[in-house]
Amino acid sequence: MKKRIKALALAAVLIGCWMLSLPVSAMAVSNTWYAGFGSRQIIPDENSPQPLYIAGYNSGWQVTGVLDDCEARAVWLDTGAQGVLIIGVDCVALDSGTVARIREALHDLPNCAAVHVYATHTHAGPDTLGLWGPTGINGKNDAYMEALIQAAADAGRAAAADRHPGSLHYGWVQTEDMYRDSRIPEVYDANLYHLRFAPQDGSAGVRLLFYGAHAESLRGDNTLLSRDFPGLLCDEVTQTTGDRTMFFPGAIGGLIMTKAFVPDTGRQAVENLRITADKLIGYALSITPEKEQTILPDLSIATETFVIPLDNPAFLLYKTLGILNNKAVPAQSATGYAVETELSVLMLGDLAVAMIPGELFPELVSGAAYGDANPQGVNPRPLCEIAQENGISNLLIAGLANDEIGYIVPPSDFLLNETLPYIEKTMDYKGENHYEETNSVGPLCAQAIADAFERAVRQLNRPSDNSK
């Protein structure tokens, strides 16, 4: 996430105040998968008296036109009993307050064990957090937020109604020369992953694409509304294959983004978008059936609700101003509060999808090289290691899911400005820019995520009273 408003603390999480483990929801195992898909456009209200601010870079920049309308897309999954609904919204992020409203709109959906909502993290969408209006002013457009919530709910209901039997398949391809990691060490997952549902009746299938990059190929001078590359990627994969397609951001922390493929990203922004999308489309279409693994129809989910001491004062300010709608509770911390959030692990056969409420640095997943700006910081065990110890052979990250807690930074590289912590960014002894810490809840966040993930996967390894 990028933004000029200094001291943006998007949200927070972690350990120590209290935690609540929700019971594992175990669905009956059958010999087939069932899936459905739905989508709805989110159309700005031209008659709204409120401005529509563009999110992701600059404060107070209004949308000047539409390149392509944002959407809500949803997939329903079950194995013969209760199902799971996953809704993806083309926007920069959604806090837990907005997610709660979408869930409430779907509270009467039959046979639904869980509703999960994530953002594709486009930096060319409207301000859906309230942080990109003029400084100190809520940047959300009320009419647009209502349209977003309605579109998400309608897409979810359409996905549930579209339920068909079929098979589920998993594949991936390594992309080359696509990434720009703005922070040393350069660590990212170069793979583009997909889950493909193939209906038995030969009707249109569903593809879920996972890629660890910020959706900002239009860059910071853009004022046109757009889904950015996830939109073109999904549209053209659908056009070519017939499969309805959704995009999931992976571990994108550290300002991991796609490279610039043009000399001038200001004047050639749309061209850069087109080139980026074309490259990813080619990779996505190269994951052919012979490169896939079949996923056995076995579905379960565990959710951890937990809190983290809130050390970033800007988050509390935005919460006090009524801009952010994350859940806050009194706690022992630098601000006297903690933020309540959630993490879920969805098991599809032997594949786990970790639904992370923020922008996770990928080294916290893989255990690859860490920065060393804070030698006193102790990094948590990487998520891949925890997964493997619990019998999980394949792990996918779905970032910005069910909440936005900002950047999840490795403690060994968490460095604050000594004079104005969380307000001004700082530089380390190598000249490395520590911008992300100004948009973080604090150095405990990474450990909290790892602990919540471990508790969730351990729940999944235990027999559930809900199993049938």
Look up residue 348 and give its amino acid.
L
Q: CB–CB of 1/94 below 8 Å?
A: no
Q: CB–CB of 366/382 below 8 Å?
A: yes
CA dist., res. 237 & res. 116, Å (int): 24
Helices (H), ranges, 94-141:
96-105
Helices (H), ranges, 125-200:
142-161
Strand partners, 136: none
β-strand 83-89 against 112-119: which pairing, if any?
Answer: parallel
β-strand 299-309 against 19-21: which pairing, if any?
Answer: antiparallel
Question: pLDDT by residue for the chain (468 residues), tens digit each?
Answer: 444 333 233 333 322 333 345 556 656 567 899 999 999 999 999 999 999 999 989 999 999 999 999 999 999 999 998 999 999 999 999 999 999 999 999 999 999 999 999 999 999 999 999 999 998 899 999 999 999 999 999 999 999 999 999 999 999 999 999 999 989 999 999 999 999 999 999 999 999 999 999 999 999 999 999 999 999 999 999 999 999 999 999 999 988 999 999 999 999 999 999 999 999 999 999 999 999 999 999 999 999 999 888 899 888 888 887 888 888 888 888 888 888 999 999 999 999 999 999 999 999 999 999 999 999 999 999 999 999 999 998 999 999 999 999 999 999 999 999 999 998 999 999 898 999 999 999 899 999 999 999 999 999 975 444 333
Q: CB–CB of 351/295 below 8 Å?
A: yes
In a 3-state reduction of DSSP, which class is residue 127? coil
CA dist., res. 446 & res. 365, Å (int): 10
Q: Catalogue the E-assigned strands of 79-144.
A: 83-89, 112-119
Look up residue 100 and give its amino acid.
A
CA dist., res. 92 & res. 77, Å (int): 25
